[in-house]
Structure 1
Amino acid sequence: MQKKILVLDDDLIVTEILGQIVKNLGYYPIVAYNASVLASAKIREFDAILLDLWLSDSSAEESLEMIAEQAFRGLIVLISGLDNEALEDACEKGRSLGLRVNGYLRKPVSAESLEALLTDLDY
């Protein structure tokens, strides 16, 4: 069965590109544009979440807390145009909440770097 990945970014162009990369890697992408989807128990149906750190309606910390409240057990890959320090801090925050943050990518995201962070899904 094809793994489902939630692609969450408030930039329509970025979500379109990421969705296509995810599809080309053999996964099934579901695209969302705001953090409200994270408050739903339905996020547990996903095998992974690609999460933009700064959504128009949620900070990184708020988004990660919403994901943790839903007891999400899949992989999380953080994505942002911010500096590495901000991304590393967000990874640590996610892990402190018990989330499986597999790493981060800076925009623009390459297929190769995303594939490397999603390899754990294939086991």
Structure 2
Amino acid sequence: MDADAARCRASSPTTASADRSLPNSRSRYPRWCSRSCSERGALSAAARQVALQDASADAARLLGRGEGAAAAARVVNVAVPAAHVSSSRSGDLVCVTATTEAMIGSLVRVPQRASSCALDGGL
């Protein structure tokens, strides 16, 4: 457990009125705790975006080598569960687009999208 999480758990609702960093006496945790938790959500969303981009590149290469759409979707869903995958061909390229939503906190949904192309018929 990191230091911020330990401080969040150590905060007690009974001492809330004595803590000047709290907005009111009904708050369970200090302001910095909720900010830290939302920062973790943003970092998680950023990490998921990187994984989505990497998986869409892998899926495009698989399709370019002649693998099926199911194999490409499987690669993306292993990296980012519940992601939706679509593919298209244009000339010598095969492109994959993967989409999902990230939750930041309990109310904010952030749509995420990653696209990547590879040479069709490549090795």
Same fold (TM over 0.5): no
Higher alpha-carbon Rg: 2
TM-score normalized with structure 1 length: 0.25
TM-score normalized with structure 2 length: 0.25
